[in-house]
Chain A
Amino acid sequence: MLAKIHITLKKDVLDPQGSVIANSLKSLGFDGVKDVRQGKYIEITLDDNDKDSAIKRLDEMCEKLLANMVIEDYSVEIN
Chain B
Amino acid sequence: MTNSIWQFQTDQSLVENHGLKLDEFTKIVEGLGREPNLTELGIFSAMWNEHCSYKSSKFWLKKLPTTGERVVQGPGENAGVIDIDDGDVAVFKMESHNHPSFIEPYQGAATGVGGILRDVFTMGARPVANLNALRFGDPGHPKTKHLLSGVVGGIGGYGNCIGIPTVGGEVNFHSSYNGNILVNAMTVGIAKKDKIFYSAAAGIGNPVVYVGSKTGRDGIHGATMASAEFDEDSEDKKPTVQVGDPFTEKLLLEACLELMKEEAIIAIQDMGAAGLTSSSIEMASKGNVGIEIDLSKVPMRAKNMSAYELMLSESQERMLMVLDPTKEEMARKIFKKWDLEFEVIGKVTDTKKLVLTMDNKEEASIPINILVEDAPEYQREYVVNEPSPLVELDHDELDDNNILEDLLKMISHPNLCSRKWIWEQYDHMVMADTIVRPGSDAAVVRVHDTNKGIAISTDCSPTYCKHNSFEGGKHAVVETWRNIIASGALPIAITDCMNFGNPEKPEIMGQFVECIRGMGEACSKLNYPVVSGNVSFYNETNGEGIYPTPAIGGVGLIKDLSNTMTISLKKEGSYICVIGNSNNHLGNSQYLSIVKNKEIGSTPSIDLEEELKNGKFVLNCIEQNKFEAVHDIADGGLLIALAEMSIYGKKGVNLDINKSSLTEYLFGEDQSRYLVEISKDSFEELLLEAEKDKVFFEKIGFTQADQFEIKNIGKIKVEELIQAHESWFKKFTN
A residues near B (Cβ < 8 Å) are 9-16, 20, 23, 68, 70-71
Q: Is the CB of A23 within 8 A of B339?
A: yes
List chain B residues, Cβ under 8 A from A15: 243
Name the A residues within 8 Å of B216 (CB-CB). Answer: 12, 14
- A13 contacts which chain B residues (CB < 8 A)? 218, 240-241, 243
Please tell me which one of the listed residues A10, A16, A20, A68 contacts residue B240 in the complex, with CB atoms under 8 A apart: A10
In the complex, which of the residues A11, A15, A16, A68 has the most CB atoms of chain B within 10 Å of its own CB atom? A16
Contact B241 A70 (CB under 8 A): yes
Interface residues of B in 298-340 (CB under 8 A from A): 301-302, 315-316, 339
Does chain A have a CB within 8 A of B390? Answer: no
Is B243's CB under 8 angstroms from A12's CB? no
Complex: A15 Cα to B315 Cα, angstroms: 12
Residues of the B chain whose Cβ atoms lie less than 8 Å from the Cβ of A16: 243, 245, 247-248
Taking a contact as CB atoms under 8 Å apart, the answer to whether A71 and B245 are in contact is no
Q: Interface code B221-248, partner A: CB below 8 Å = 1, 0 otherwise? A: 0000000000000001010111101011
Distance in angstroms from B245 CB to nearest chain A CB is 4
Check A14 against B104 for contact (C-beta < 8 Å): no
A14 and B242 contacting across the interface, CB-CB below 8 Å: yes
Q: Which residues of B contact A12 (CB under 8 A)?
A: 216-218, 236, 238, 240, 302
Say yes or no: B339 contacts A14, CB within 8 Å. no
Q: Report the Cα distance A9→B104, complex, angstroms.
A: 14
Q: Is the CB of B339 within 8 A of A68?
A: no
Contact residues in A for B103 (Cβ distance below 8 Å): 70
B570 to chain A, nearest CB (A): 46
B107 at the interface (CB under 8 A from A): yes
**A-B contact list, 6 entries, CB within 8 Å:** A12-B240, A14-B216, A14-B315, A14-B316, A68-B104, A71-B107
Contact A14 B243 (CB under 8 A): yes
Residue ranges of B at the interface with A (Cβ–Cβ < 8 Å): 103-104, 107, 213, 216-218, 236, 238, 240-243, 245, 247-248, 301-302, 315-316, 339
> Which 8 residue pairs are nearest across A and B when measured between Cβ atoms?
A16-B245, A14-B243, A70-B104, A12-B217, A12-B240, A13-B240, A71-B241, A70-B241
In the bound complex, residues from chain A placing their C-beta under 8 Å from that of B339 are 23
User: Given A23-B339, A68-B104, A71-B104, A14–B236 Cβ distance below 8 Å?
Assistant: no
- Return the chain B residue nearest A68 by Cβ: B104
What separation, in Å, do the CA atoms of A23 and B336 have in the docked complex?
Answer: 13
Please state if A71 and B247 are interface contacts (CB–CB under 8 Å).
no
Residues in chain A near residue B238, CB distance under 8 A = 12
Q: Output the nearest chain B residue to A69 by Cβ-Cβ distance.
A: B104
Contacts of A68 in B (CB 8 A): 104
Residues of B within 8 A of A23 (CB): 339
Interface centre among A9, A12, A70 (most CB of B within 10 A): A12
Given A12-B216, A12-B240: 8 more A-B contacts, CB < 8 Å: A12-B218, A12-B238, A13-B218, A13-B241, A14-B213, A14-B218, A14-B316, A71-B243
B213 CB to nearest A CB, Å: 8
Please give, as numbers and ranges, the residues of chain B lying within 8 Å of A11 by CB-CB distance: 236
Docked pose: A23 CA to B104 CA in angstroms: 28
CA distance A13 to B301 in the complex (A): 10
Please name the residue on chain A nearest to B242 by beta carbon.
A14
The smallest C-beta distance from B310 to any residue of chain A, in angstroms, reads: 14
Complex: chain A residue closest to B150, CB-CB? A68
A71 touching B248 in the complex, CB below 8 Å, given contacts A12-B217, A14-B216, A23-B339: no
Smallest beta-carbon distance A15→chain B, Å: 7
> A13 to B111, alpha carbons, bound, how many Å?
14
Given the complex, which residues of A lie within 8 Å of B217, measured CB to CB? 12
A20 touches B241 (CB 8 A): no
Query: B245's contact among A9, A10, A14, A70, by CB below 8 Å, is which?
Result: A14
Which residue on A lies nearest to B239, using beta carbons? Answer: A12
Interface centre among B103, B213, B240, B302 (most CB of A within 10 A): B240
Question: Closest Cβ of chain B: how far from A25's Cβ, in Å?
Answer: 14
Which A residues touch B316, using CB under 8 A? 14
Residues of A within 8 A of B302 (CB): 12
- Residue of chain A at shortest CB distance from B220: A12
* Whole-angstrom CA separation of A11 from B213 in the bound complex: 17
Which partner residue on chain A sits nearest B247 by CB separation? A16
**What is the chain B residue whose CB lies nearest that of A14?**
B243
